[in-house]
Amino acid sequence: NAGVTQTPKFQVLKTGQSMTLQCAQDMNHEYMSWYRQDPGMGLRLIHYSVGAGITDQGEVPNGYNVSRSTTEDFPLRLLSAAPSQTSVYFCASSYNLGPQETQYFGPGTRLLVL
Amino acid sequence: ILNVEQSPQSLHVQEGDSTNFTCSFPSSNFYALHWYRWETAKSPEALFVMTLNGDEKKKGRISATLNTKEGYSYLYIKGSQPEDSATYLCAIPPTSGSRLTFGEGTQLTVNP
């Protein structure tokens, strides 16, 4: 199993540009989520999905869209990039939505918005 | 939104020292506590999931304890090694599922 994969690893955008961060998992996990990590703020939940066709907002959803058309894929779209979205983005998945379920993280995408 | 606090924010120790740090969380409606280890340029990896008051878990030189009544967990590292240098994150799920709320982490640096 490849686990959780993310592309790209690094990206530089100009303010106003749009892009999609890709996330895929091959573990047949129902639950997938996107976090952003900023210095001094820990990991903050952007959006999550409990299964194909179902998504919901997390703690910091503004400026981001998600969709879940398949169990495997959970792309994160930045509609109009802003410097405040400069961050490291992690995708994570778990088998289901139980409180004891371990989440498996991807390698992260480092995004710089100029 | 749950309030998960970790202390200290950062820690520098010498190789061979033992160390510990704290995760504090609301003691009401507790479901589970997760510890993750996050090395620079890598993805966070799960260390422990703890659920019962008084739980103690161990993995090699790393161990953790849980007190759900007073709302804290300790992570201990015995005989720290440079490869233990990482950020240690704790996280609590809200009542409705595994949408984890993370603390800010404790950044550990072990000097050779």
Query: Which pLDDT score, from 0 to 100, does residue A100 have?
Result: 87
Query: Which pLDDT score, from 0 to 100, does residue B41 have?
Result: 84
Q: How far from the centroid of its chain's Cα atoms is residue B35's Cα?
A: 4
Give the pLDDT band of residue B96 (cuts 50, 70, 90): low
Rounded to whole angstroms, the Cα distance separating A62 from B80 reads 41
Q: What type of residue is B106? A: T
Query: Which pLDDT score, from 0 to 100, does residue A2 have?
Result: 81
Mean pLDDT across chain A: 94
**pLDDT tens-digit profile of A36-48?**
999 878 899 999 9
**Tokens (6 digits) for B72:** 């804290």
Percent of chain B with pLDDT over 70: 95
Query: Which pLDDT score, from 0 to 100, does residue B98 have?
Result: 58
3-state secondary structure chain A: CCCEEEECCEEEECCCCCEEEEEEECCCCCEEEEEEEECCCEEEEEEEEEECCEEEECCCCCCEEECCCCCCECCEEECCCCHHHCEEEEEEEECCCCCCCCCEECCCEEEEEC
Q: Are B43 and A45 in contact (CB < 8 Å)?
A: no
* Interface membership of B39 toward A (CB under 8 Å): no
Query: Which pLDDT score, from 0 to 100, does residue B97 have?
Result: 63
* Interface membership of B23 toward A (CB under 8 Å): no
CA nearest A102 in B: which residue?
B46
Query: Which pLDDT score, from 0 to 100, does residue B40 have?
Result: 86
**pLDDT tens-digit profile of B3-20?**
899 999 999 999 999 999
**B89: phi > 0 → left, psi -120 to 50 → alpha, else beta; which?**
beta
Q: Which residue in this structure is represented by tokens 């804290």?
A: B72
- Sequence-separated (6 or more) residues with CB below 8 Å from residue B28: none
